[in-house]
Amino acid sequence: MNEEKTYWERQPTDKPYYLNGFNGTWAFTDHKKVPQGLRDFLMECFPKATRFSRIPLDEMNEVMNDVWEGPGSMPKIDRLRREMVMARQADPEDNKK
């Protein structure tokens, strides 16, 4: 798992057209245009969604704008995703389902 975080830490933050360099407000208008690194995080944020396309875009944008701190935020997004996965896997109630 540290390889993935290391990957994001190595990505440039001074190129706004790279995901880790994005410095703006998220305003997704199409599920197909959401980068994979964010899709995984968003699926963990909305655990009851059975498909990515069922997550409301406005809620997705709200979550992303709440956690995104500008360039260099992908290591944080990845860490949050991993924490949610570990919490979900550790919850005995989820294991019963």
pLDDT tens digits along 10-40: 999 999 999 999 999 999 999 999 999 999 9
More confident residue, 1 or 7: 7
Question: Rounded to an integer, what distance in angstroms lies between the CA atom of residue 68 and that of residue 24?
Answer: 9
Give Cβ neighbours of residue 27 (< 8 Å, ≥ 6 apart): 61
pTM of the full predicted structure? 0.84
Answer yes or no: is pLDDT of 2 > 70.
no
Handedness of CA 87, 82, 41, 69 (dihedral sign): positive
Question: Rounded to an integer, what distance in angstroms lies between the CA atom of residue 85 and that of residue 40?
Answer: 10
Mean pLDDT of 86-91: 88
Residue whose structure tokens are 């994005």: 22
pLDDT tens digits along 38-87: 999 999 999 999 999 999 999 999 999 999 999 999 999 999 999 999 99
Confidence of residue 92 (pLDDT cuts 50, 70, 90): low
The encoded tokens of residue 92 equal: 């005995």
Predicted local confidence at residue 5, as pLDDT: 52
Answer yes or no: is pLDDT of 96 > 60.
no
